[in-house]
Amino acid sequence: MESTTKKVTTKMLVDLYREMYDLFPNTNIEEFEEIIIEDGYWDTRARLSINRETNHWLDNIGGRDKLKELYSEFRNGTLDDRINNQKQKLKKYLK
């Protein structure tokens, strides 16, 4: 069976460190080295990708504060009121 593993280059590690530093500015090189040794390059890259997608999603809905607000409305039972008000406004516009 042929092995299809890809070698990790220094450039790939530097790019990954820059990406991690962009997401987590308090990360130092020693912590990064420890993460790479424990989890490996590919797992770390996948986790950063997931984190980047999550941040992008949060930015699209208005940030963490907006998410907390929506969750609070959900817990209090007032989220349905907002949705119903939006439906009523849309019905008025469509008539």
Give the CA distances from residue 50 to residues 23, 43, 73, in Å, rounded to whole numbers and listed in that order: 11, 11, 27
**pLDDT tens-digit map of 24-52:** 999 999 999 999 999 999 999 999 999 99
List the beta strands (DSSP E) in the chain. Answer: none
Domain boundaries defined on the chain: 1-61, 63-95
Task: Kindly indicate the confidence band of residue 1, based on its pLDDT and cuts at 50, 70 and 90.
Answer: very low
**Does the structure show a pLDDT above 60 at 14?**
yes
pTM above 0.75, yes or no: no
Q: Which of 42, 40, 45, 36 is nearest to 16 (CA)?
A: 45
Q: Which of 36, 47, 38, 43 is nearest to 13 (CA)?
A: 36
Do 73 and 79 contact (CB within 8 A), yes or no?
Answer: yes
Question: What 8-state DSSP symbol labels residue 9?
Answer: P
